Chain A
Amino acid sequence: NAGVTQTPKFQVLKTGQSMTLQCAQDMNHNSMYWYRQDPGMGLRLIYYSASEGTTDKGEVPNGYNVSRLNKREFSLRLESAAPSQTSVYFCASSVLAENKNIQYFGAGTRLSVL
């Protein structure tokens, strides 16, 4: 009953450090997404992957890279962290049901960049 699992839950970085946020889903979904959540701005799409082997930029991709390692896993990498990347990051996966895109979210990673 795991659903979408994100690691780590919390992380503090110094400016310029790199890190990878991990995401895995066990629902056999084709599509996966990375969002960031900032106060007063809702969720904004960073990158998404419609299927294994494909990735596309979302609304705010600058400063990030992604890898769709296999159908289950979709990682988000910050090569050189900046304070503007302090945020809560959510991974999601989705299935098309009755032509509706139902998304399932992980619990989030809270990242602070000092």
Chain B
Amino acid sequence: GNSVTQMEGPVTLSEEAFLTINCTYTATGYPSLFWYVQYPGEGLQLLLKATKADDKGSNKGFEATYRKETTSFHLEKGSVQVSDSAVYFCALDTGRRALTFGSGTRLQVQP
């Protein structure tokens, strides 16, 4: 079946540090891949997406590249801010029903 594996958190960084959150997946076919972000007390919001191999999704300074050869979709940001503190979820869609989510990675950015 489909599954998504994310690095465990929390990830604690200082402001302006480089961020990487690892995500690998198992899926049949050619899934679309997503990163969602959940700020405290809120629902999930779509951060970025990629639909085919080598696509790069980007938004708000975050980037992720769809790597089919390594079945990965790692999230990166060059310089994090305190306002980026949130829980980040990697997810995939194979076109069948709902999304499959990873367990989430909490990011804490300290001033």
Contacts and interface: CB of A to CB of B under 8 A. Distances in A.
Contacts of A4: 43
Given A100-B32, A100-B51, A101-B32, A45 B98 contact: yes
Interface residues of B, number: 21
Contacts, number: 57
Interface residues of A, number: 25
B46 A107 contact: no
Interface stretch (A11-19, A35-43, A61-69): A35-43
B97 A105 contact: no
27 contacts: A4-B43, A35-B98, A42-B101, A42-B102, A42-B103, A42-B104, A43-B44, A43-B99, A43-B101, A44-B101, A45-B97, A45-B98, A48-B97, A90-B44, A92-B44, A98-B51, A99-B32, A99-B51, A100-B49, A100-B51, A101-B95, A102-B46, A103-B44, A103-B98, A106-B43, A107-B43, A108-B43
